[in-house]
Amino acid sequence: MEKNMQGKIWTEKFRPANFKDFIGQKHIVDKIRSMVENKNLPHQLYAGPAGVGKTSLILIVAKELFGENWRESVLELNASDARGIDVIRNEVKNFARTKAFSDIPKICILDEADSLTKEAQQALRRTMEVYSNSCRFCLLANYSSKIIEPIQSRCAIFRFKPLNKEELKQIVENVVKTEGIKINDKTIDLIIDVSSGDVRRLTNILQSCASISKEITENLIYDIVAAAHPKEVKEIVEVATSGNFIGAREKLLEVMLKHGLSGLDIIKQIQREIWNLNIKDENKLKMVEKCGEIEFRLVEGSDEYVQLEALLSQFALYGK
């Protein structure tokens, strides 16, 4: 435990150092590698969900182009912290217009670029155009639709996707082997399922579990990620669809208090368990639709216990 607490954060420790170590996104990596080999890098927009390798890939590009002193030729900003027009006009513009140390243009990385205001994006598009000889821009975003069209048209757009099960399993096995962790195949499948293709979340779960015990079990994972066991959630839904609304409500409250779950946490697990019920498919579809409606109400700020009780009451009707 002491070793894990004092060591590096695993998301950084196991970050790939080169193209060879990079797992997943092969359709993108091959194109980027070719650009780096030809030293002909355009402005780029990396779009995709969190934890799929966007930041890791552009850092590999920087290291391949500039070598050990890559930090001198790279400006990395997180747009969620600094997303106003002043940052673009001052910090970014000053970096972009200064001459590069070599013949290769510098790289400005704007992480979470979809958090930039529209005014900041308008200022950025002009900066990208004027200083393209001395600086290349790489924008990282979860949603490319939030980037204005003039910027998208100036960039080569690469769309990242969540890693598949085999790729995630390869990452888990690498971490397990390096850190000397005991874990069985069933537990690995659970971690992969919980992480939903997000490598950052996957490695954080592994490190959190390993800091408690070198032997990772399913129960330990459920405790760490603050999730109810599928059997408990399924029992809630089965009791509700049997017509026992009071029993389902009591079981739901017990599970939520036991695991410290919010309404949004439990409703996503309920939605997954609906498909395992032994009822008509027509009723399953109605139940899923009701889950979506209740989730929307929760996001809008409705009382979670009132809304979840309303959900269970509908389940009791659909089960008949």
Q: Pull the structure tokens for residue 74.
A: 């790279």
Question: Would you say residue 250 has pLDDT above 70?
Answer: yes
Output the pLDDT for position 83: 62
Question: Would you say residue 286 has pLDDT above 50?
Answer: yes
274-285 pLDDT, tens per residue?
Answer: 988 888 888 899
Q: Which residues contact 17 (CB under 8 A, 6 or more apart)?
A: 60, 63
Q: Tell which residue, 154, 212, 196, has the closest CA to residue 5.
A: 212
Helices 165-179 and 185-195 meet at what angle, rounded to 10?
120
As separate numbers, helices (DSSP H) first and strands (DSSP E) second, the chain gives 17, 5
Q: Which residues contact 317 (CB under 8 A, 6 or more apart)?
A: none
Q: How far is CA 129 from the centre of its chain?
A: 31
Question: Would you say residue 134 has pLDDT above 50?
Answer: yes
* DSSP-based three-state secondary structure for 265: helix
Q: What is the CA radius of gyration of the chain?
A: 24
Q: What is the mean pLDDT of residues 123-132?
A: 89
The answer to whether the predicted template modeling score (pTM) of the entire model surpasses 0.85 is: no
Output the pLDDT for position 11: 84
Output the pLDDT for position 2: 40
Q: Tell which residue, 90, 150, 141, has the closest CA to residue 116.
A: 141
Candidate ranges 1-15, 210-224, 286-300; pick with highest mean pLDDT? 286-300
Question: Would you say residue 5 has pLDDT above 90?
Answer: no
37-61 pLDDT, tens per residue?
Answer: 998 889 999 999 988 999 999 999 9
234-to-13, 46, 230 alpha-carbon distances in Å: 38, 39, 6
Question: Would you say residue 295 has pLDDT above 90?
Answer: yes
Question: Would you say residue 90 has pLDDT above 70?
Answer: yes
pLDDT band at 236 (very low <50, low <70, confident <90, very high): very high
11-34 pLDDT, tens per residue?
Answer: 888 888 899 999 988 889 999 999
Output the pLDDT for position 251: 93
Q: How far is CA 300 from the centre of its chain?
A: 23
Output the pLDDT for position 223: 82
Burial of 189 (0-12, 13-18, 19+ CB in 10 A): middle
Q: Which residues contact 27 (CB under 8 A, 6 or more apart)?
A: none
- Structural domains present in the chain: 25-159 (3.40.50.300), 165-224 (1.10.8.60), 230-318 (1.20.272.10)
Q: What is the mean pLDDT of residues 120-145?
A: 90
Output the pLDDT for position 258: 83
Question: Would you say residue 93 has pLDDT above 50?
Answer: yes
What are 100-104's contacts with CB under 8 Å, separation 24+? 100/73, 100/134, 100/135, 101/69, 101/72, 101/73, 102/66, 102/73, 104/39, 104/65, 104/66, 104/73
Provide, rounded to the nearest whole percent, the portion of the chain with pLDDT above 70: 95
pLDDT band at 1 (very low <50, low <70, confident <90, very high): very low
177-220 pLDDT, tens per residue?
Answer: 988 889 888 999 989 888 888 898 899 999 999 888 889 988 88
Output the pLDDT for position 3: 45
Output the pLDDT for position 35: 92
